Structure 1
Amino acid sequence: MAGRGDGLYPPLSVPKPLGRELWVVDGPAISFYGMPFPTRMCVVRLPSGGLWLHSPIRPDEDLIAQVEALGPVAHLVAPNALHYAFLPAWAARFPEAAVHAAPGAAERAARHGLVFPDHAPLGPRAPEAWRGMIRQRLVPGHPFLKEAIFFHRPSRTLILTDLIEAFEPARLGPLMKIATWIGGIRSPGGTPRDARLTWADRAAAAAVLREAMSWEPDRVIMAHGAPIETDVAARLRQAFAWALGPEADARA
């Protein structure tokens, strides 16, 4: 709904099907450096029947009931060192679920007073629990933003977090319009400017990003902004031109 000024995608806290065994759940905004950032969780039902929750949003009883109706919560994923705030609450509610976190997430949570549960680190390859359904890579080369990216095979959906942000100006208030313009994260989408400028090893990132593009996704879901569902390959080349080189952007 354009004109809200909050960047949100209602209905909130409701699992919305996006593909076979894939749901997206848009949540309320949280404050990040004083700016309202919308939140988004992806839910995948694995062949085992268990649920894989990517970047869990703020839980409430209604949302928990809706998620449990899809299946038992089996895996909780913090995909980078910025998306972990609500994972401890889900882990407390579902202590039998396995927790997986990108490098730096648990340490940053501790600095912010959150008790992060015991977890398995997310690495360059998917663990056996979801390897057959979800591909996984860790994008290297940045001192802080070490993000795990995922590819849901059945729906051909690339699941990102902050590597691409695509805020739509019509959904934003005046301050967020300015901030997203400065940050280079307005639709059609891009990697935040501060991350691009501080990426130490772009060649290492480019190798993983090229592999992800070779998977030929039909859709890209990000934490912030509308999913990319048209001209997917061209928009990925454009968004990642900072790593892939100017020739990639020229082909977009």
Structure 2
Amino acid sequence: MLPSKNSASEGFYRFFSFFQPPTIPRSWEEEWRNHVFPHGEIQELAPGLWHVTGVLGFTPREMVIYRLPAGGLLIHSAIALNEAGMTALESLGTPTLMIVPNRIHRLDAALFKQRYPQLQVITPQVAKPYVEEIVTVDGIAEEILPPLGIICHQPEGIRPQELVYELPLSTGKALIFTDILFNLTESYLQQFVPHRQFILHWLGAAGYFGITALGKRFFLTDLLAYQQWLITLADRILSLQIISVAHGEPITENCSQRLQEAAARLSINQVSGHPET
């Protein structure tokens, strides 16, 4: 009997959750240095919203930093930065909330909590049991974030695993995705993984904005429902200024149109194949 979609997805998650730097008993400062991998500088996307790109193995990854209305910082998908990077982060404000978006993006969560004991760790309800294998969860995103003006969107047609966050900006709105959309452009890959980008092309994850071949295989449960959800999201958020994804270049222009394009890529003949070029 063939494995079910859920068992295949579970195997995928276990594989990509496996990586941990080698650990020996040490202080948190030493452990922090053990978790620092190559990364760029913090860059502003919009007033009150920043991102930084790191590289883990052959994959670029993104951390988002958002200034909350009360002045503290919300960290999405935390990445341990070198000391210059952390000094730059702290110059923006005090880390107050940290979203651990799913069970894969939890590598540096416990270290952030050690470094900032006052940091409130939150996660989607569905990810809580897995995140708590790494760090104590202080609250559920669906309960903590709406009173702060942040809308938590539950993706449709996707195996429950993560949320999409709609952040209010002074100039409009931002959408923060994690793994259900990638945007590994050629220029982005050339900048961050120039000698390893062929792996991401081989995996069907690069060169376009959309759900990847692996995402369709392991995350997608209803292609048409996901397609319609992306279209609806694009139509409803008229002031969309920024789209951030956990793996890829942030989108800062024509955001609603780009979401429509990502939805259009989901033709029926793509269910098991590679994305169109």
Q: Considering the TM-score relative to the shorter chain, is it more than 0.5?
A: yes
Q: Which residue of 1 aligns with 2:155?
A: 139
Identity %, equivalent residues: 22
Partner of 2:75, secondary structure, is: strand
The alpha carbon displacement at 1:25 in A equals: 1.6
Instruction: Report the Cα distance in structure 2 between the residues aligned to 1:81 and 1:222, rounded to whole angstroms.
Output: 16
Q: Is the 8 A contact 1:137 1:208 kept in 2?
A: no
1:151 equivalenced with 2:151 (yes/no): no
Instruction: Report the Cα distance in structure 2 between the residues aligned to 1:88 and 1:207, rounded to whole angstroms.
Output: 36
Q: Which residue of 1 aligns with 2:179?
A: 162
Amino acid at match of 1:30: L
Picking from 81, 87, 97, the partner of 2:109 is 87
Please give the residue correspondences for 1:100-249 in structure 2 after superposition, counting only pairs within 5 Å.
100-103=122-125, 105-108=127-130, 115-123=134-142, 126-128=145-147, 130-131=148-149, 134-143=150-159, 146-154=161-169, 155=171, 156-169=173-186, 171=190, 172-173=193-194, 176-177=197-198, 179-198=199-218, 199-202=220-223, 205-206=226-227, 208-213=229-234, 214-216=236-238, 217-241=240-264
1:82-123 CA-to-partner distances (Å, cap 9, x unmatched) read 21111111011111111111355454457xxx6322232333
Q: Is the 8 A contact 2:201 2:207 kept in 1?
A: no
1:28-71 CA-to-partner distances (Å, cap 9, x unmatched) read x113xxxx111211111111011000111123332222222111
Picking from 38, 42, 46, the partner of 1:19 is 46
Aligned pairs, number:
223
Q: Which runs of 5+ in 2 are unaligned?
A: 1-37, 270-277
Instruction: Report the Cα distance in structure 2 between the residues aligned to 1:191 and 1:89, rounded to whole angstroms.
Output: 30
Partner of 1:240, secondary structure, is: helix
Q: Is the 8 A contact 1:53 1:77 kept in 2?
A: yes
Q: Which residue of 2 aligns with 1:69?
A: 91
TM-score (norm 1): 0.75
Partner of 2:51, secondary structure, is: strand
Q: Is the 8 A contact 1:81 1:103 kept in 2?
A: no
Q: Which moved more, 1:78-87 or 1:195-204?
A: 195-204
TM-score (norm 2): 0.69
Q: Is the 8 A contact 1:142 1:200 kept in 2?
A: yes
Instruction: Report the Cα distance in structure 2 between the residues aligned to 1:54 and 1:61, rounded to whole angstroms.
Output: 19
Q: Is the 8 A contact 1:59 1:90 kept in 2?
A: no
Partner of 1:92, secondary structure, is: helix
Amino acid at match of 1:195: G
102 and 244 in structure 1: CA distance in 2 versus 1, 3 angstrom threshold: farther
Query: How large is the Cα RMSD of the aligned pairs?
Result: 2.9
Q: Which runs of 5+ in 1 are unaligned?
A: 1-10, 247-252
Instruction: Report the Cα distance in structure 1 between the residues aligned to 2:69 and 2:144, rounded to whole angstroms.
Output: 18
Partner of 2:87, secondary structure, is: helix
The alpha carbon displacement at 1:166 in A equals: 1.9
The alpha carbon displacement at 1:153 in A equals: 2.0
Q: Is the 8 A contact 2:183 2:210 kept in 1?
A: yes
245 and 194 in structure 1: CA distance in 2 versus 1, 3 angstrom threshold: same
Instruction: Name the structure where helix makes up a greater proportion of residues.
Output: 2
Q: Is the 8 A contact 2:62 2:248 kept in 1?
A: no
Amino acid at match of 2:197: M
Partner of 2:230, secondary structure, is: helix
The alpha carbon displacement at 1:174 in A equals: 6.1
Instruction: Report the Cα distance in structure 1 between the residues aligned to 2:141 and 2:64, rounded to whole angstroms.
Output: 17
Instruction: Report the Cα distance in structure 1 between the residues aligned to 2:155 and 2:203, rounded to whole angstroms.
Output: 20
Q: Greater CA radius of gyration, 1 or 2?
A: 2
